[in-house]
Amino acid sequence: MRRLALALLPLVLAAGCGSGAGPSSTPRYDVTITYWPEGRGSDPRSATLTCDPDGGSHPNPAKACDALLAHEDALKALAGDVACTEIYGGPQLATIAGADVHATLSRTNGCEISRWDALAPVVELAR
């Protein structure tokens, strides 16, 4: 019995090591961000972003992914029955688009400003 256990030990150890393929190669998010700093009529800035693993052409993918993962609810459009303060935060406009994501963000009222602020590290692309 002891010989059988010793003979099987290398097989058990090898099985526990996994396939060696590593983590999934499909990122949690794979999106394109388009940002209009002065509204739709201004020159847009664009970047790609992948999260988990972090990457893309975004200037700070780690910070952007942290914000995106912490505020995924901000990607959802506001419900029609939500009361928002009538505060204008500026003409900025941004889209975040990917296979499972399509969000448009603006600063047109208090609710939209909150969504924007949560995702500012994602959408505010510096020149």
What b/e readout covers 71-94, taking b as 16+ CB neighbours within 10 angstroms?
beebbeeeeeeeeeeeeeeeebbb
pTM: 0.77
Instruction: State both tokens at 41.
Output: 């009529």
Q: What is the pLDDT of residue 79?
A: 84
Residues 75-124 pLDDT 10s: 998 888 889 999 999 999 999 999 999 999 999 999 999 999 999 999 99
The DSSP code sequence of 87-115 is: ----S-EEEEEESS-EEEEE-SSHHHHHH
